[in-house]
With several copies, the nearest count.
Chain A
């Protein structure tokens, strides 16, 4: 699946997007975050406070408990500050 990163999540990881192939035991958004966090220091920093990270699957907000099965695009970003 395609991963997108925005704002300081993007800056900390150092890229705006990439292809992810998590192992089959990674079932939810929260588990995907934990898996990414374990990759290297950049991801660890980006996701250090996982509770604040907002997520979207296929351009709609989802919670960390949401399953990732079937997701084509998953996005990670800080709380929104538009408007």
Chain B
């Protein structure tokens, strides 16, 4: 099974991507779809600018996907990550896992997100609503800890 991996500036449609996986199959019992969105609770963010390392982003996500396929019996796997300018409320990342059983689909999706957060070469810069260029988003220790738990 070859995972679907795309790095793109264009928006994506999670429902469409899941339907592509389901289509015509009778062997999938569980589909888990994770969508990560650009959040701005206090109204100070104009946009996030997502920089990435072309070539390595695809390669690294492919390595993480292979790791997931080695750990869990998956029927299908899709990862889409946007780059460029992303507005509050817009989707940034999509992970879809399909499996016979729900436990495998859930575990693989969570693993993929934890690893993408800490290993995929993307960096977020904030553009503020007041027109100024804000800071680069700082990596969170919480994300490292989340990825670390899969090594136990």
Contact = CB atoms under 8 A, between A and B. Distances in A.
A81 B56 contact: no
Interface in B36-93: 36, 50-53, 55-57, 59-60, 63, 81, 92-93
A7 interface: yes
Given A6-B51, A78-B136, A78-B139, A83 B122 contact: yes
Contact of A7 (B51, B113, B143): B51
Range for the number of chain A residues in contact with chain B: 10 to 19
Contacts, number: 76
Contacts of B36: 83
Range for the number of chain B residues in contact with chain A: 20 to 34
B59 A59 contact: yes
Nearest to B135: A8
Interface in B117-152: 117-125, 136-139, 143
Given A7-B136, A8-B136, A60-B59, A81 B53 contact: no
A80 B136 contact: no
Interface of A: 4, 6-8, 56, 59-61, 75, 77-83
